[in-house]
């Protein structure tokens, strides 16, 4: 059984959703039969590649929030992260275009280390305040998660996985995905958002009962 997950590296709910899904998978009767594939989605594709801006300022401008409201939302997200064993730094922070980060995740899929790499990128951004927007930082993080440094550097320079990322983004449009995380179970069932583990557990059982594998 295949579970496909569309997410963006700078989406806090995507990190929470990943962990809640993993909690459900740990309690599933057939975890060894589940193959997980991560796909790219961009919350802000218009962000200028190579440039970073204030995360907090971006939230204020996009949603018309006050400083106090952003701080309140950060406090709530800190609690949500803690509920699944994660650390959320919040604060000013930086944001930017995530396309190159998705290329790293695509490279990891080919190397068989996709989960480790996307986990490393999420943790670096949300829990450590590290950049996931420039190739130097991304290569370093990829290497920490098991990718080959020279091969990864070359692939980012040559755009080896740019087309794979573009396919993910195009497929998200075809499916009608407008928000992430978005989980697809064997191309039969979908779960939108960082639902509680019980919801993911039900989807796993339903997909298994339908396909028998």
> pLDDT per residue over 190-202, tens digit each?
999 999 999 999 9
User: Which CATH number covers residue 163?
Assistant: 3.40.30.10
pLDDT at 74 over 60: yes
Q: What does the pLDDT read at residue 213?
A: 52
Say which residues have a Cβ less than 8 Å from residue 121's Cβ, sequence separation at least 6: 9, 101, 104, 105, 132, 138, 141
Question: What percentage of residues in the chain have a pLDDT greater than 70?
Answer: 99
Report DSSP state, residue 99.
Answer: H
By three-state DSSP, how is residue 71 classified? Answer: helix
- At residue 168 the predicted structure's pLDDT band, cuts being 50, 70 and 90, is very high
The total number of structural domains in the chain stands at 1
> pLDDT per residue over 136-166, tens digit each?
999 999 999 999 999 999 999 999 999 999 9
Range of the domain at 146: 2-211
């Amino acid at each position: 059984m295949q579970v496909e997950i569309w997410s963006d590296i700078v989406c806090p709910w995507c990190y929470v959703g990943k962990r809640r899904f993993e909690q459900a998978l740990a309690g599933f009767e057939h975890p060894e039969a589940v193959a997980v594939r991560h796909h790219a989605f961009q919350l802000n594709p218009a962000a200028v590649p190579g440039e970073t801006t204030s995360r907090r300022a971006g939230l204020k401008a996009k949603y018309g929030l006050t400083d106090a409201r952003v701080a309140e939302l950060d406090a709530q997200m800190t609690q949500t992260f803690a509920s699944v064993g994660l650390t959320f730094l919040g604060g000013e922070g930086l944001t930017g275009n995530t396309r190159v980060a998705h290329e790293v995740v695509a490279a990891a899929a080919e190397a068989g280390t996709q989960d480790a790499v996307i986990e490393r990128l999420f943790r670096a951004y949300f829990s450590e305040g590290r950049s996931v927007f420039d190739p130097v930082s991304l290569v370093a993080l990829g290497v920490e998660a098991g990718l080959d440094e020279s091969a990864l550097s070359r692939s980012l320079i040559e755009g080896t996985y740019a087309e794979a990322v573009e396919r993910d983004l195009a497929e998200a449009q075809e499916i009608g995905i407008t928000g992430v995380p978005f989980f697809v179970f064997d191309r039969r069932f979908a779960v939108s958002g960082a639902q509680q583990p019980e919801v993911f557990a039900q989807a796993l059982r339903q997909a298994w009962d339908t396909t028998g594998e």
